[in-house]
Every structure is written in C-alpha cells, then in structure tokens.
Amino acid sequence: MSGLAIIGGSYAALNLAISARQHGYAEPIRMITDEAMAPYHRPPLSKGHLLAPCPPDALALRGEAFYAEHGIEVLLETKVLAIDPAGKLKTARRAIAFDSLAITTGARARLLNLPGCELDGVVTLRSWADAEAIRQRLPDIENVVIIGAGFIGLELAASFRKLGKTVTVLEALPRVLARAVPQRLSTFIEAEHRLRGVDLRCNVRSVTIEGLNRRATGVVADGARCPADMIVLAVGATANSELGAPLGLVTQGAIAVDNVGRTALHHIFAAGDCTIHPNAFSGTPLRLESVQNATDQARAAGAAIAGVHAPYASVPWFWSDQYDLKLQMVGLSHGADHEIVRGSVEDRKFSVFYLKSGRLLAIDSVNSPADHMLGRRLVSQRIGVAPELIQDPQFDLRTLAKAA
C-alpha cells in the first residue's frame, strides 16, 4: 500500500487528511506521529490545563470512529527517521511506502545554551505530556521563574498566578510580546501582569540557572537571585524541519513551500509551524505559528494532493487568554503609519486599528470579540477607512463590512 503518508499528529496533519478526502482523494492515507495521542487541541495546554485539567479524550480533535470512517490510519508512537524521496519512509520498525508525502511536524520549544538547563525542574511546554508533567508538580511548587515573555510564557504566568504561585518573568527584550504586538498593546499587557502580582523584568542581559543535588533551585538575573521550584523556558519555538534538510527543502530553518503547500519536490508537501511560505499579507516569505495558519495551509495542501488548486491566501489571526483578558489579533501590523484606539482602555475593552496609507492592515482586540470577527473580513479586503470613523463610538463597523 502506498497512497498519502502524513508525518506528524498536528492540526495541520488532520486538516490535510480531511481536505484530501473532501476533494476526492481515494488512495490510502496514513498519519504517522511520535506522540501517544492522535491530533489534539494544543492551545488549552498553556491557557487552562493547569487550572482545569483536560484528559486526552477531551482534547482530541476527532474520535477513533472518524478516522475509521474516512479511511485514515493513525500510527502512534512511531518516529520517522528519514525520507527516501523515491517513496519510502524509514522508521525504527519498518519502511512505509508513499506516492505523496506531507510533512506536518510542527515546532518544538527552543532551548537556551545555559548551564543548568539539564537540571530537574527546568521545563518547556509544547505537548500534552509536557503540560501534564507540569501539572503533576504543582503541589510542590511555590516559586516559578519563566524565562521569556511571549504568549506561552505570559499565559503560563497568568495560570500560575491564579493558582497563587509566586511568579517572576524574565525577558531579554525591552518589552513583552515585542515580536508579536506593537508598543501600545505590549504596555497594556505588562501593566495587567504587574497588577496581578507578577514580577516582570525586561531588558534582562544575563541569566544563570542554579541548582542543588541535580535539581534547579533558582535563577540569577543580572546579578539578582530569584528562587525557583520550577523554571519554564518559554523563549520561542524551532521548526521541526530536520527531515526536509537532506532533501534540500529547508530555507531559513523551515521547510519552504508555495501557496498550495508544495515543496521543490512536487510529490512532497508541508504545512503548519514547520513551514515558511509566501504570504500575501506580509509581502515576504513568512513562518507563522498559529492554529489558523496550520489549518488553512493544510486545507490548501490537501486539496492540491487531490488535484484541486485552492491556494492559501487567508488573513493571519491569533488569540491569547490571560486572566480575564481575551486578546485577539488579526492581520500583520508591521509597517502601519497610523494607530487608532476604539473603545475604552480603562474598561479593558478596546481595539487598536492599524492603517497604512488609509488602508486597514490589522486589528488587535482586548475583550472585543465583535471587532475581531469583523476585522477578519475587513483586513482580508484591505479596506480603506477614515480614522475618524473608527474613533467614533457611534459608527457601526458593520457598515464597512457590508461595503466590503
């Protein structure tokens, strides 16, 4: 049996398989993952798992019956060691043949080259197993140090504070979420975390991990010691692109694909966090780490494998839950020449609209889901809008959506 082999058990893996079937692909499909679980929801792991544990079956994207009904064979705890582009995958147990191949291997937590990272109590978060290991330690944890103030670091900080833990967040850059959001939203989020008791330190230049008897006991940051029962490394992610490197498919550390997820080897596709792709909204090749990108890119790749051309051109969108804040972002704000706030920052319900030359680039929303949902449509159309209309609380944004 050949057919389609999919490496990975991610959002991208599942949606690619579904899309291929929906577009008429009738050959065998095998999904091969090194995890013990079929594809599952990952955002809850940093957003709520510590507060309300999610069992594996509650996180599953689809049940066993779905895979059987759609003829998708799922091979768990199976690691692909190498790809023979002639049509074979090498695993520890056997070779797996394919006609078409999709690489949906996602990304892994980036590690720091620091002495002490190998100590017990230094953790990362990418999988259910990682989240469950952290949760199991909670009764013995009082002080947590999180290195990195990106989305995962801040979401975990919020969860730990809700549990009454003492939390210190260390960030090398001048502000939190510096690579993800502009200054205005960053400043707001920093203030919220400090208000909830997080010891948040930016511009940290020197970090050393201390330990005793092979267990982490604290972090020294710029000469100041922070006691820690747990140290979380949350400094970004590295694309799992190693399988594509020997085939010449890797660019800037990720697997390069076109707008239907096809690599330079036309029978090999890729989708999700492990890829870099031409993005219509950035104007340059981009690697996105988001459920939206993994899902929409995979749908385009699955269609292409089935012989249907449906290019990926979705507007990027993201979200983050921290305390009682729902942060939602649509579009890419880089290059904006105008920022307009709509709503009330004091009431913690507002949106920031980003324009360039009078056209809408992006919207960042806090507790304003209606703005975000409209924004997906407005930003995708790059609609032109007058700033005074956005600022006017009486103006109905749905008018713009109807016009678009």
- Residues 135-186 pLDDT 10s: 999 999 999 999 999 999 999 999 999 999 999 999 999 999 999 999 999 9
Q: What is the pLDDT of residue 269?
A: 98
Report d(CA 355, CA 363) in Å as an integer: 9
Least Cα distance to 102 among 193, 31, 201 occurs for 31
What pTM value is reported for the model?
0.94
Report d(CA 331, CA 334) in Å as an integer: 9
* Rg of the chain, C-alpha, whole Å: 22
Residue 367 · residue 385 · CB < 8 Å: no
Beta bridge partners of 122: 231
User: Which residue type sits at 296?
Assistant: D
Least Cα distance to 220 among 69, 115, 87, 77 occurs for 115
For tokens 């100590």, the residue is 119
List phi, psi (to 5°) of 206.
Answer: -135, 130
User: Which residue type sits at 287?
Assistant: R
Q: What is the pLDDT of residue 404?
A: 63
Q: How far apart are the first and last CA of the chain?
A: 48
pLDDT digits (tens, 9 = 90+) for 62-102: 999 999 999 999 999 999 999 999 999 999 989 999 999 99
Query: Domains of the chain (ranges plus CATH)?
Result: 4-107+238-305 (3.50.50.60), 111-233 (3.50.50.60), 324-403 (3.30.390.30)
Mean pLDDT, each 10-residue run in order, the chain (404 residues): 93 98 98 96 87 85 96 97 97 95 97 92 95 94 97 96 97 96 95 98 96 96 96 97 98 97 98 95 92 97 98 94 96 93 95 94 96 92 88 86 70
Least Cα distance to 54 among 114, 121, 135, 118 occurs for 135
Q: What is the pLDDT of residue 36?
A: 94
